[in-house]
Amino acid sequence: MNTKISVDKNKAKDKDKDKDKDKVILLICDGLGDRPSLGGKTPLQAADTPFIDKISEDGINGLMDVISPGIVPGSDTAHLAILGYDPYKYYPGRGVFEAFGADMELHKGDVAFRANFATVDDKMRVIDRRAGRKGSKELAEALNGLEIEDIKIFLKNTTEHRCAVVMKGKNLSKYVSDVDTHEEGGIVKDCKPLTLKEGADERKTAGIVNEFVRMSYGILNEHPVNEERRRRGEPPANIVLLRGAGSYEEVPSMKERYGFGAACIAGASLYKGVAKYLGMDVVPVEGATGKADTNLNNKAEAALHALDEHDFVFVHVKGTDNSGHEGDFEGKRKMISRIDKELVARIEDVDSYIIITADHSTPVSIKRHSSDPVPVVIKGDGVRKDGVNKFDEISVASGGLGRIRGIDLVPILSDFMGYYKMYGT
Amino acid sequence: MNTKISVDKNKAKDKDKDKDKDKVILLICDGLGDRPSLGGKTPLQAADTPFIDKISEDGINGLMDVISPGIVPGSDTAHLAILGYDPYKYYPGRGVFEAFGADMELHKGDVAFRANFATVDDKMRVIDRRAGRKGSKELAEALNGLEIEDIKIFLKNTTEHRCAVVMKGKNLSKYVSDVDTHEEGGIVKDCKPLTLKEGADERKTAGIVNEFVRMSYGILNEHPVNEERRRRGEPPANIVLLRGAGSYEEVPSMKERYGFGAACIAGASLYKGVAKYLGMDVVPVEGATGKADTNLNNKAEAALHALDEHDFVFVHVKGTDNSGHEGDFEGKRKMISRIDKELVARIEDVDSYIIITADHSTPVSIKRHSSDPVPVVIKGDGVRKDGVNKFDEISVASGGLGRIRGIDLVPILSDFMGYYKMYGT
């Protein structure tokens, strides 16, 4: 491939020991896959996508079972698979990604959680699971650094009412249940060892979690932020609810595993967390929000720039999934059209492989993730261009890739890029 | 989905805790897949199938490797896979299905066999492997309940010369060879431990089997039924030949494994046996013979009725396979046309998912099972309707399902039905 993106990139290539290697932009549109609904079309079929369709026309297309047929992927396990890590082996539990996404440090044996500030009454009944969208930073600081027995607990506010929690110390386990009720009106749950593994570590961890939640109520209920809220007639954000325990173990980085340096361009913290877990560089992007209002132009710019110093650039867009969960066909259609014009249009002539796909389907008709396979296209030097010229869930099925799995994608790309390993001689 | 089948179904749905879940009719036409032969067409291509083709047009189509590419499936392992049970893990040996199909009781550790009444001369040479199509019931009764050492042996006549045999007692093993010669003219074989496992249990079981076969000759040769046969100039059904040892272990039922209650509509006992093994309700159908003369109208009625109380209705038709084994193109073509008119036409507008597929190919050109993948179509709410409008082995290859495996089918259907589990968050 020629180098025509920027002067910087030429310089980078000159420095590069692997001059003959190619680069990749992998665009994952979260929850992009769908089922036919409005007018018998999927949002992707209904969207205005000339640039994406051109990539489809120039590329090789197919369907991808992100985990395996019939298995409904979560966003976390899905991204592990698509980035080349078998989730059945490498999935550490959601909390780990949350903590990495919040830029917290993790070491082997640390246990991490997702957490919400919530409002409870004095009988521990949950009135609001998402309380304190303002002032959360101070509340988090009030709880950060607490010690219970030999365990030290760190807490960091991420966005709005959301936090990441990290517990450090000996003999902790991720096999404990959620404290979060997952719906309003319920009583805060006791954290318990999960039935699949009930040992001393699990009992200890559950005890620490329960004590931490009790302490959070004591500290937060009287906190000046909440006294101020009460004065304004607002319910206090007076407890922190934990869920999604994860246990950190080191994994080989993408560089170690596949040989190429990788960067992540994402707004939502989960995806940044997955990327850090896999040793990718997370590139900060102004206006990348992980929502429909995200700045796609900036993401495109950041992706092109990241190619200077990286071989593999993973770009994540979340808005498509949000509309799917809301059952908003028109919102999803519009988001896809925006991705086409504001992101793909700006990267489509890059001198690297371009891959467009999704981490799972989130059909607007069912408002949840589904196992319907996602469309995938690979454009770049030497791919077996097929007859597909429209990128959608039905058209790609007759493409040259056939039906692959998420875990296959990075090995396929590695070979195109030149980072292949031959098996046998 | 709306409920429009019957008042009963509405009632059932009202009672149902899972009101939002959908139902399935899975039609398996045994050995349906074929290769092009007469006029370059397969029997399925040559058949008159307007109703099946309409389902193809409204549905998503593809090819299915029932086990995996190149593996020729038996009917028993094929059905396990298609019903969502990996045969490499859950296949108990054919005898178990035979015993379940004969409505015999099985408990953990019991060993079961298929068996034939046969004619042998006094040197144990097999003259007729299929003897005594009449009077078999009395002959079976003469052998039922025998005891050898600490083992009790039960025998039940199923159809014509066929029986199921169950051995109950301690330290029995399925790893023993067949006594059946599988062809006429040979000497009845000694049952021996299979080379892959030769322990005390295998030696004991082989000894019991050999003693039982010897005893069967002693009892049957002098039996009044056979004296009567000799008087009529017919050869006596004077021995019982065992084969296909299987060992029963409990498996999680479809309800336990997937969450839905399942029913089976079949004529041939093997398929009823598989269904019972998996905890399905076997619905009796008048005129369902497991042969070309089966009453397909009654099967259609039974399937619709079974939907009242079940979520997943498996309908089996055997006739297509029989014609394949006989190399009878025209017979197979006619059977397929009959399935279209007498069965599919009656269920095609049901308010449930409809799946049509096969357990394997039985090409008329080679008169045996083959590994050629089978066509599969799924019709129902939200499927990604593709461009295929003819259901045959070649047309479906460009469909939206691509090429899946048998073991994938039930997970895919579970997600459509609403019985999904998400992996990750």
Q: What is the pLDDT of residues B252-309, one digit of tens each?
A: 999 999 999 999 999 999 999 999 999 999 999 999 998 899 999 999 999 999 999 9
Residue among B107, B131, B111, B109 at smallest CA distance from B120: B131
> For residue A424, is it within any domain?
no
Q: A74, B422: Cβ pair inside 8 Å? A: yes
Residues near B103 by beta carbon (within 8 Å), at least 6 away in sequence: B156
Which chain A residues are Cβ-neighbours of B64 within 8 angstroms?
Answer: none
Q: Can you give the pLDDT of all 425 residues of chain A as single tens digits?
A: 443 434 444 444 444 555 689 999 999 999 999 999 999 999 999 999 999 999 999 999 999 999 999 999 999 999 999 999 999 999 999 999 999 999 999 999 999 999 999 999 999 999 999 897 788 999 999 999 999 999 999 999 998 899 999 999 999 999 999 999 988 999 999 999 997 778 999 999 999 999 999 999 999 999 999 999 999 999 999 999 999 999 999 999 999 999 999 999 999 999 999 999 999 999 999 999 988 999 999 999 999 999 999 999 999 999 999 999 999 999 999 999 999 999 999 999 999 999 999 999 999 999 999 999 999 999 999 999 999 999 999 999 999 999 999 999 999 999 999 998 899 98
CA distance B93 to chain A (A): 27
> For residue B424, is it within any domain?
no
Does A398 reach chain B within 8 Å, measured CB to CB?
Answer: yes
Q: What is the pLDDT of residue A20?
A: 80
For residues A399 and A269, membership in a common domain is answered with yes
Name which of B376, B377, B384 to mutate to probe chain A: the one with the most chain A Cβ atoms within 10 A of its Cβ.
Answer: B384
Q: What is the pLDDT of residue A18?
A: 55
8 Å CB contact between B263 and B302: no
Other CB atoms within 10 A of residue B117 CB: 29
Number of A to B CB contacts under 8 A, please give it.
89
> For residue A299, is it within any domain?
yes
CA distance B257 to chain A (A): 14
> Facing residues of B25 across strands?
B313, B354
Residues near A378 by beta carbon (within 8 Å), at least 6 away in sequence: A59, A60, A353, A354, A355, A401, A412, A413, A416
Does B384 reach chain A within 8 Å, measured CB to CB?
Answer: yes
Q: What is the pLDDT of residue B19?
A: 65
Going across the sheet that includes B312-317, the strands are: B281-282, B262-265, B312-317, B24-29, B353-357, B374-379, B60-65, B402-405
Q: B399, A397: Cβ pair inside 8 Å? A: yes
**What's phi and psi for B179, nearest 5 deg?**
-90, -30
For residues B105 and B80, membership in a common domain is answered with no
Q: What is the pLDDT of residue A398?
A: 94
For residues A196 and A222, membership in a common domain is answered with yes
Q: A71, B423: Cβ pair inside 8 Å? A: yes
Does B400 reach chain A within 8 Å, measured CB to CB?
Answer: yes
For residues B271 and B368, membership in a common domain is answered with yes
Distance in angstroms (rounded) separating the CA atoms of residues A119 and A233:
13
Residues near A9 by beta carbon (within 8 Å), at least 6 away in sequence: A3, A307, A308
Task: Cite the beta strand spans of B121-274 per DSSP E.
Answer: 126-128, 146-148, 151-157, 162-168, 239-247, 262-265
Distance in angstroms (rounded) separating the CA atoms of residues A66 and A71:
8
Q: What is the pLDDT of residue B216?
A: 97
Q: Nearest residue of A to residue B408 by CA position?
A: A69
Does A40 reach chain B within 8 Å, measured CB to CB?
Answer: yes
For residues A170 and A315, membership in a common domain is answered with no
Instruction: Give the domain extent around B384.
Output: 7-92+251-417
Q: Can you give the pLDDT of all 425 residues of chain B as single tens digits?
A: 443 333 343 334 444 445 679 999 999 999 999 999 999 999 999 999 999 999 999 999 999 999 999 999 999 999 999 999 999 999 999 999 999 999 999 999 999 999 999 999 999 999 999 887 788 999 999 999 999 999 999 999 998 899 999 999 999 999 999 999 988 999 999 999 997 778 999 999 999 999 999 999 999 999 999 999 999 999 999 999 999 999 999 999 999 999 999 999 999 999 999 999 999 999 999 999 988 999 999 999 999 999 999 999 999 999 999 999 999 999 999 999 999 999 999 999 999 999 999 999 999 999 999 999 999 999 999 999 999 999 999 999 999 999 999 999 999 999 999 999 899 98
8 Å CB contact between B347 and B54: no
Distance in angstroms (rounded) separating the CA atoms of residues B141 and B132:
14
8 Å CB contact between A241 and A131: no
Residue among A358, A268, A389 at smallest CA distance from A78: A358
pTM of the full predicted structure? 0.91
C-alpha B243, offset from chain centre: 17
8 Å CB contact between A249 and A92: yes
> For residue A425, is it within any domain?
no
For residues A13 and A73, membership in a common domain is answered with yes
Q: Two tokens at B119?
A: 């004619």
The total number of structural domains that make up chain B: 2
Distance in angstroms (rounded) separating the CA atoms of residues A299 and B295:
64
For residues B290 and B410, membership in a common domain is answered with yes
Which of B228, B247, B266 terminates a domain? The answer is B247
CA distance A74 to chain B (A): 4
Which of B218, B247, B276 terminates a domain? The answer is B247
Q: What is the pLDDT of residue B134?
A: 81
> For B322-360, b where at least 16 C-beta lie within 10 A, e where not — what string?
bbbeebbbebbbbbbbbbbbbbbbbbbebebbbbbbbbb
Q: What is the pLDDT of residue B135?
A: 86
Which of B247, B282, B302 terminates a domain? The answer is B247
Angstrom CA distances, B419 to A197, A320, B255, B351, B401, stand at 26, 24, 11, 17, 20
Q: What is the DSSP string of B8-35?
A: HHHHHHHH-S-TT---EEEEEETTBB--
For residues A104 and A202, membership in a common domain is answered with yes
CA distance A399 to chain B (A): 9
Q: What is the pLDDT of residue B335?
A: 98
Does B20 reach chain A within 8 Å, measured CB to CB?
Answer: no
Q: What is the pLDDT of residue A19?
A: 66
Q: Two tokens at A272?
A: 């940044």
C-alpha A133, offset from chain centre: 22
Which chain B residues are Cβ-neighbours of A37 within 8 angstroms?
Answer: 382
Q: What is the pLDDT of residue A17?
A: 52
A394: nearest CB among B384, B410, B422: B384
Q: What is the pLDDT of residue B248?
A: 95
